[in-house]
Amino acid sequence: MSKIYITGHRNPDMDSLCSAYAYANLKNRIDSDNEYIPVRIGNLTKSIQKFFESIGAEPPIYKNHIYPVVKDVILEPGERIDINMPLVSLSKFYNEVNPSSYPIYDGNNFVGLLSVDDIAIWLMQKLEKNEKIDSETLIKDVLKIREDKFDALDYFEDGKAIMIKSKLRGFPVYEDNKYIGYVTRRCFLESPKHNVILVDHNEASQSIKGLETANIVEIIDHHRLGALKTILPIYMDIEPLGSTCTIVYQQYLKHNVKPNEIEAKVLLAGLISDTVILKSPTTTKTDIDTANDLTKLAKVNLNEFAEKMFSSMGGLTADVANEKIESDFKIYAENGVSVGIGQCEVVTLRDLDNYKEAYLKTLDEVRLKNSLNWAMLMITDVIKETSVLLTTDFKLNKNIQYKKIENNIYDMPGVLSRKKQLLPDILSLINQ
Ligand SMILES: [Mn+2]
């Protein structure tokens, strides 16, 4: 059974988290040959964690990269060999198995790897000194205890580089300070590949670190196509719908699987979050039909559920400026200008005056940190269906078409979509 990770984009938003969760559940139900594991590649805010708990779902676990690691290639001993056994008793075993290194135990405790080199050197020294070699010699007389070891999560490539330079034929592998197996040079002949399904994104720059070393097996998304290359043909379901969760629900229908109440809530959360309660211009009829189905399956009232979800995301206060700006921050590069655009949803914009200074300041810090020319934050009032835009200082600010409220703050009545409304406006400014 192979593991297949399902991940949304960096700085995961609701749609990324929820589509990964629900698609993994569906895949685990229709394909028992593989194990599908939903993961996230960014922080989860406490409020989103609480929201998941409140609907009875476990949010995707954090995974910081998909590079192969030493643990992926470890060997586990079949036969356990004890340090108190006579060396000669290994004769048959060495003849048959021919291990370059083999783990030796003292009772239940791993003590070290016995390599053929250690045995050979020990024998040479005996011969050199003309000492008698007797069949009573125990493994512990020959075994050399060494400190060298690998950590289970060491990168495969790093382990390989060390192995190539080392005189040792094997290294024990530890996880959380516990011995879990060992590796020999043979383990590093071929790099293992992890399997991954991308949901809610399709560009490597927005994806999990190490994607270039992995097998992409599927892409489920609703964004423009980036330039990803794969070695084998893969399954893709990319549709211009309001959310990836909508597409995942269509997949449930396609496979005749009925989402349970929790799955329906999770799918609905991703859908109403990306479509701003079906008000965003990205919303299609399919999204509306899907929302209708899901509210029934989830046994909730759409508006009540939406309000609960958006208010669980918390208001904008100065102390969470960083978290709010970075939690859904997308970077675009066009015509030599790099611009980062964050988006957050609120249930009211009344308290903008209280936090605008702090957010403008933090926005500039985020811009510097990411080496960007320009950064902005779109704050959307999901109840009144309007947004304001905060921007850092940049020469193109003067060309922004939206009504300026004050320096670096603009009013965007009716603008709800970063992807369909704000981004095209900004890109056309950059391309002018
Ligand atoms: Mn999405």
Q: Determine the distance separating the centroid of ligand 1 and the alpha carbon of 275, expressed in angstroms.
A: 9
| CB-based contact 186:100 (threshold 8 Å) | yes
pLDDT at 228 over 90: no
Q: Determine the distance separating the centroid of ligand 1 and the alpha carbon of 370, expressed in angstroms.
A: 22
Q: Determine the distance separating the centroid of ligand 1 and the alpha carbon of 109, expressed in angstroms.
A: 50
Beta bridge partners of residue 199, listed in sequence order: 220
Q: Determine the distance separating the centroid of ligand 1 and the alpha carbon of 148, expressed in angstroms.
A: 46
d(CA 1, CA 423): 42
* DSSP 8-state secondary structure symbol assigned to residue 143: P
Domains and CATH numbers, the chain: 2-67+194-312 (3.90.1640.10), 72-187 (3.10.580.10), 318-431 (3.10.310.20)
d(CA 244, CA 252): 13
> With bands split at pLDDT 50, 70 and 90, how would you rate the model's confidence at 272?
very high
> With bands split at pLDDT 50, 70 and 90, how would you rate the model's confidence at 319?
confident
- The string of pLDDT tens digits covering residues 166-199 is 999 999 999 999 999 999 999 999 999 999 999 9
What's the whole-model pTM score?
0.81
d(CA 427, CA 413): 19
Backbone φ, ψ for residue 16 (5° rounding): -65, -45
Q: What is the 3-state secondary structure (H, E, C) of 293-336?
A: HHHHHHCCCHHHHHHHHHHHCCCCCHHHHHHHHHCCEEEEEECC
The two structure tokens encoding residue 301 = 């009232």
Angle subtended at Cα 12 by Cα 229 and Cα 66, rounded to the nearest 5 degrees? 50
d(CA 188, CA 241): 44
Q: Determine the distance separating the centroid of ligand 1 and the alpha carbon of 9, expressed in angstroms.
A: 9
Q: Determine the distance separating the centroid of ligand 1 and the alpha carbon of 111, expressed in angstroms.
A: 51
How high is the pLDDT of residue 270?
A: 96
- The string of pLDDT tens digits covering residues 347-402 is 889 889 999 999 999 999 999 999 999 999 999 998 888 999 999 999 999 999 99
- The string of pLDDT tens digits covering residues 321-336 is 998 899 889 999 989 9
* DSSP 8-state secondary structure symbol assigned to residue 227: -
